[in-house]
Amino acid sequence: MTPNPDPTLCAALAADLQAARFRSEALRAAWGVEADDATGRGLRVPALRGLGDRDDALATLGRLLVLGVAQPLAAVDAALPALGSAGLQDLGLASVDSEVVTPRAIIRPQSYLDTERTGEWWLASDLDEIATGGGALAEDHVLGVGGASLTLAGLQLPVPAARVLDLGTGCGIQALRARRYADAVVATDLSERALRYARLNAILNQDEGIQTRHGSLFEPVAGETFDRIVSNPPFVITPRAKGVPDYEYRDGGLVGDALVEQVVRGVGQHLAPGGVAQMLGNWETRDGVDGLARLRSWVESSDIPLEAWVVEREQLDPIQYAELWIRDGGTAPGSPAHNALLTAWLDDFAARGVTGIGFGYVLLRRAVGEPRLARYERLSQPIPSEGGLGAHLALALDAHDRLAALDDHALAAATLRTAPDVTEARHHLPGVGDPQVIELRQGAGFGRAIGVDPGLAALVGACDGDLPVGTLVDAIASLLEVDAGALRAELLPRVRELVMDGFLTLD
C-alpha cells in the first residue's frame, strides 16, 4: 500500500493517538521493561505476553501499530474513534476486511532530547522485522528509526538556522529534528514512497515547516543554498551485480563509496558562507590508500573551500561488512542466497582492491576566508554523549573559531576553566613516588582520554578562571625548574587542543 499524507486524516489519527496515551513510556509500562528492551532486539513475543488479554485502546494500538499484529475490526474502531479503521486504511497504513484490520505500516513513538526540552514524535514507516518476523525486505522499503538515524539526529547542531536541507530524508526524522532549531526545512529523496512517509510524519506531528521535494541528491535544490545540510544518505556499498537487491533506503546505485564522494564534493555549492553540512558515510581503504586520506582528498578537491571535521567510528574488513548488510536485508546466514550475496560482495571488493571500510561522522563547513579546520581522526571508544553530541560539536566549533582569532600572546593573556566533567588518573609503579602515566579523562563529549605530562596536568588543574594562562605557565615553570619560555612554547599548542576538545573552556 502507498502512504497517503492526508491532513484531515492525519489530524484525526493524532487526536486518537493522544487520547490513547500512545507514548513510549506508556507502552513500556504496559508490556513491561524487559519486553520493551526485547522489542529493540526485534522480538515481539515478550511484549504480546506482557499485554495479555488487555483490550483497551493502548493495548490494541500497541499490537497493531508497534508489533504489527492484526486486530479485530471492532477493537480498532474503538481505539480510533475519530479516524476509524476505514480512515487508517485510507491513510495507506492498514488494510481492512469484514472482521480484521491488518497493519501495512508501523507507527512508533520516538523520544527526543535537545537543549530546549524533551518530547516525542510519532513516526510511520514500512513494516520492520518485529512486524514481519524477518524475511527479505522489499527494495522500496522505507526504514523507520534505527541506530544510524538516531546517531545523526543527536549530531545535529542545536543552533538556530533559517533554512536546512535534509538530503535523503527517508521517513523524515532528520527533518523533524532540524525543525527544532530551523525556520524551514527542505526534505528531498529519490523515493516518492519515502517522501510520502516524510510528509505524513510532518503532518502527524503538526509541523508545517517541512517541504518535500522529489529527486536525486542535489537536483531538487539546484541553485539554492542553506545554512545547514543534514544527510543520512544511502551510503551502503553494494555490488552492482545480478541478483543483489538494491534497497532504496541504503543503496545509492553507484559503485563503491562514489555516492559519499559525490555528496562531499558537491555540498559546498549548496552551503551559505559559514554553513555546516553533517552526514554519515562509508569510505573504502582501497589499493593501499587509507579511507580517511581518500575522504580528505574529496574535501580538498571541492570547488568551494571547505573546513572538515571527520570522525571514523569503526572500520570493518570486507567479510564483516558484507555480513552486516546481507543480514540487514533479511537473508538468513548459511542459506544459498546468503552465500551468493557474500560471494558477490567479496568479488566486488576484490576487484577494486578494497581491504577495509570505514564508517563515521562527517562535518563540513563552507569556509569564510582561508580554511582553518582540517581534522580527521579515529575514535573507537564508547561515547557518553552518543545521543546528543550536537551541543558538544557546536561548542567545539565556537572554541575553534575563538582560538583562531588568538595568537599565542593573546592566548597566554586569556583565562581558562577546567570543564566540570574532566577527571585525572595517575598510574604508579609499586613503590615509585612519581607517576609513570598521567591521564585526563572526559566524562562528556567524545569521552576522550589523553596522556599528559606533569606540566600540562598542573596547568589543567590550576585553570579556574582566575589567573591568565601565561601567569600559570610561568609559575609551573618555576616549580618544575624549567625555562618558562620553552614550557610556554610546549604547552600552548596542547592548550589549544584541550580547548577544542572541551577539556578547557575560554572565559
Within the chain, all domains assigned CATH 3.90.930 are found at 406-506
Within the chain, all domains assigned CATH 3.40.50.150 are found at 144-367+387-395
What is the mean pLDDT of the segment spanning 496-503? Answer: 97
Quick one: residue 332, left, alpha or beta (phi over 0 = left, psi -120 to 50 = alpha)?
Answer: beta
Predicted confidence at residue 142, as pLDDT, reads: 94
Residue 329 banded pLDDT, cuts 50, 70, 90: confident
| pLDDT tens digits along 394-415 | 999 999 999 999 999 999 999 9
What is the mean pLDDT of the segment spanning 413-440? Answer: 91
Whether the per-residue pLDDT at 386 is higher than 60: the answer is no
- Residue bearing cell 545480478: 242
Phi and psi at residue 283, to the nearest 5°: -145, 145
| pLDDT tens digits along 43-58 | 999 999 999 999 999 9
Cell of 203: 503532518
CATH number of this structure's domain 406-506, picked from the four choices 3.40.1710, 3.40.30, 3.40.50, 3.90.930: 3.90.930
Phi and psi at residue 392, to the nearest 5°: -65, -45
Judged by average pLDDT, the poorest of 426-430, 456-460, 501-505 is 426-430
Provide the sign of the torsion angle of the four alpha carbons 20, 25, 30, 31, taken in this order: positive
Whether the per-residue pLDDT at 312 is higher than 80: the answer is yes
7-11, 96-100, 234-238 — which one is most confidently predicted on average? 7-11
| pLDDT tens digits along 158-192 | 999 999 999 999 999 999 999 999 999 999 999 99
Q: Of all helices (H) and strands (E), which one includes residue 451?
A: strand 449-452
Whether the per-residue pLDDT at 154 is higher than 70: the answer is yes
Residue 40 banded pLDDT, cuts 50, 70, 90: confident
Q: How far is it, in rounded angstroms, from Cα 504 to Cα 487?
A: 18
**Whole-model pTM?**
0.93
Whether the per-residue pLDDT at 466 is higher than 90: the answer is yes
CA distances from 293 to 128, 238, 260, 284 (A): 36, 22, 14, 10
Count CA atoms within 13 Å of residue 211 on its CB side.
11
CA angle, corner 290, sides to 288 and 296, nearest 5?
135
Q: Domain 144-367+387-395: give its CATH superfamily.
A: Vaccinia Virus protein VP39 (3.40.50.150)
CA distances from 468 to 410, 424, 473 (A): 10, 22, 9
- Supply the DSSP string of 400-418, one letter for each residue: HHHHHT--HHHHHHS-EEE
Q: How far is it, in rounded angstroms, from Cα 339 to Cα 325?
A: 13
Quick one: residue 501, left, alpha or beta (phi over 0 = left, psi -120 to 50 = alpha)?
Answer: alpha
| pLDDT tens digits along 219-277 | 999 999 999 999 999 899 999 998 898 888 888 888 999 999 999 999 999 999 999 99
Predicted confidence at residue 112, as pLDDT, reads: 86
Q: Of all helices (H) and strands (E), which one includes residue 296?
A: helix 291-300
> Please, what is the average pLDDT of the chain?
94
Whether the per-residue pLDDT at 117 is higher than 90: the answer is no
* Burial environment of residue 405 by CB neighbours within 10 A (0 to 12, 13 to 18, 19 or more): exposed
Q: Which residues pair with 101 in a beta bridge?
A: 71, 96
Q: How far is it, in rounded angstroms, from Cα 184 to Cα 272?
A: 15
